[in-house]
Structure 1
Amino acid sequence: MRDRFLTGLIGYPIAHSAAPAMHEQAAAALGVRCHYQLIEVKGAGHDDLRAMVDGIRRLGFAGVNVTFPYKEAVVDLLDDLAPDARAIGAVNTIVVDGARLVGHNTDATGFARAIEPLLASAPRGPIALIGSGGVGKAIAFALAILGVGELRIFDSDGAKVARLAGQLADRHAARGVASVEAALDGATGVVNATPVGMLPNRDSPVPDSLLHPSMWVADAVYTPLWTPLLLAAKAKRAKVLTGRDLAIYAAADAFELFTSMMPSTDVMANAFDAVMAARYSRPA
């Protein structure tokens, strides 16, 4: 069994990522070594991504994670896709399997684990999803797997929304809507799957006036942990879910794919919390 692993993350911006701490400390708790390399590249085109992916294959990586804005762009550069990634059309985890690169999507499994307790305690009803990019697709499929009712999807790119709704047509009542207001009209919950609110951006994808105490609000962004959207939802006394649990569970599922070992989510959570504590303070 291997006792050393080289892994990493491709994306931009990623200097803030808690992933190195989570993966490296999870490995140490299992008695193995892991180096998690941040591969931060702005504006990478198809040829740039191909060069990076080929480098992963050649340089001894066990695999890498992929984040914004490359989760969809890497799909056609891989040798194979796991069924989840193939259905979603986005990859956040690439595993090196011999000479082959296989794409997976642990955003979907991670979000399902994160949101399930909140869904279990919330009334059933329409859910608004803001964003239909790589993480938005994964979240949409996770919600479909969990059997939620109507899913309303809004994105400034209407063609992407239509494609995603079409992908879900045989398993979920999903439809695109023309505005955030239409998405949230009567919704029991809303998920932000866009980078809006990620530092240095301090905007919110949802006007404060649309938030109310009887809904829940989740954000996939975790830098900062308390985004403008979640601060506004908290002020309205809505139930909230930060990006913390999604980040931890998605990382744990990726670690298992890279190493064939099951990490401690408690160790990963402690590592994540330490990184966040060093950067941000949580409101009372």
Structure 2
Amino acid sequence: MNTISRDTRLCMSLSARPGNFGTRFHNHLYAALGLDYVYKAFTTTDLPAAIGGIRALGIRGCAISMPFKEACIPLLDALDASAAAIDAVNTIVNDDGLLRGYNTDYRAVRELLEQRVPPSTPFVLLGSGGMAKAVASALRDAGFADGTIVARNAASGRALAARCGCAWQPQLGEVDGALLINTTPIGMSGAAEAEALAFPPSAVAVAHSVFDVVALPEHTPLLRLARALGKPVISGAEVIVLQALEQFVLYTGVRPGAEQVAAAARFARG
């Protein structure tokens, strides 16, 4: 572990429920690359004061998780195109007091989609929150034109569908041959529905492929079922590594090698 001094640069995260993945991932890479940085996870009940602290204390960067991805925007000075396009921020970079918001979730999701799924594939996306915005926008920008947003909240569901040029419906409908995407907390460790399936087995059985953005656990109930049925999958564990890597590059200006990133991801998962 690097020795902390007055010159050590601090990076952090803000979340309602802080986890250990980002802390372990970033600090592992700082040590491996000999960078004088340290990373610490925080939560807050006073978001304006927390964002003001980033500026006032010269904190280099901050990862933003729910429920702060949209609420932080009025407190920033500028938005990168990745955040402006979807009105959601998951990364803040502090350049000499100027706070700019980015969305590395969007970047990671788009990269994975372009690598794994033909854009002609229809999709069904469950959810309409901040992560749903990132995924839906990545789908749109990667050329996926035939899609449906499934969300019980009619206002946010309709708004997201309109933004991304797809349909909205309050309940699951036809999914035969579709890419199924879960952006809700269903299946997440510690959530009320940790053991539940975001989509019923009958839907998974006729799906083209399955994408679950839940990162913890690495193997969610939905992904376990999809793999058992022989369906191609994209996991939230893959997304979290790619988005954390892009945060690391934004904070430090250094891009680690693939083996270093893989080692950091293994360490972060404990």
Show the counterpart of 1:136: 132
* SS at structure 1 position matched to 2:244: helix
Does the alignment pair 1:257 with 2:250? Answer: yes
Instruction: Write out per-residue CA displacement over residues 83-117 of structure 1, whole angstroms, 9 at most, x where no aligned residue.
Output: 22111000000111222211111100011122322
Q: Tell whether the 8 Å contact from 1:5 to 1:259 is kept in structure 2 after alignment.
A: no
| CA distance in 2: counterparts of 1:51 and 1:32, whole angstroms | 28
* SS at structure 2 position matched to 1:24: helix
Match of 1:10 among 14, 17, 30: 14
Residues 147-166 of structure 1: pairs in structure 2 closer than 5 A: 147-166=143-162
> Which blocks of at least 5 consecutive residues in structure 2 are unaligned?
1-6
- Post-superposition shift, 1:196? 1.5
Instruction: Write out per-residue CA displacement over residues 190-245 of structure 1, whole angstroms, 9 at most, x where no aligned residue.
Output: 11111221111322221222111652111111110111111122222211222122
Does the alignment pair 1:167 with 2:163? Answer: yes
Task: Give the 3 Å change call, closer, same or farther, for CA 149–186 of structure 1 in structure 2.
Answer: farther
| CA distance in 2: counterparts of 1:250 and 1:230, whole angstroms | 20
Higher relative contact order, chain-length normalized (CA < 8 Å, sep 6+): 1
> Which blocks of at least 5 consecutive residues in structure 1 are unaligned?
279-284
Q: Tell whether the 8 Å contact from 2:121 to 2:178 is kept in structure 1 after alignment.
A: yes
* SS at structure 1 position matched to 2:39: strand
Task: Give the 3 Å change call, closer, same or farther, for CA 200–237 of structure 1 in structure 2.
Answer: same
| CA distance in 2: counterparts of 1:187 and 1:12, whole angstroms | 36
Does the alignment pair 1:21 with 2:19? Answer: no
Q: Which amino acid aligns with 1:190?
A: L
Q: Which amino acid aligns with 1:177?
A: Q
- Post-superposition shift, 1:187? 4.3
Match of 1:176 among 168, 183, 191: 168
* SS at structure 1 position matched to 2:176: coil
Aligned residues: 261
Q: Which amino acid aligns with 1:194?
A: T
Show the counterpart of 1:99: 97
| CA distance in 1: counterparts of 2:169 and 2:69, whole angstroms | 24
| CA distance in 2: counterparts of 1:216 and 1:27, whole angstroms | 36
RMSD of the alignment, in Å? 1.9
Match of 1:229 among 222, 247, 252: 222
Q: Which amino acid aligns with 2:128?
A: S
Does the alignment pair 1:241 with 2:234? Answer: yes
Runs of 4+ in 1 over 4 A off after TM superposition: none
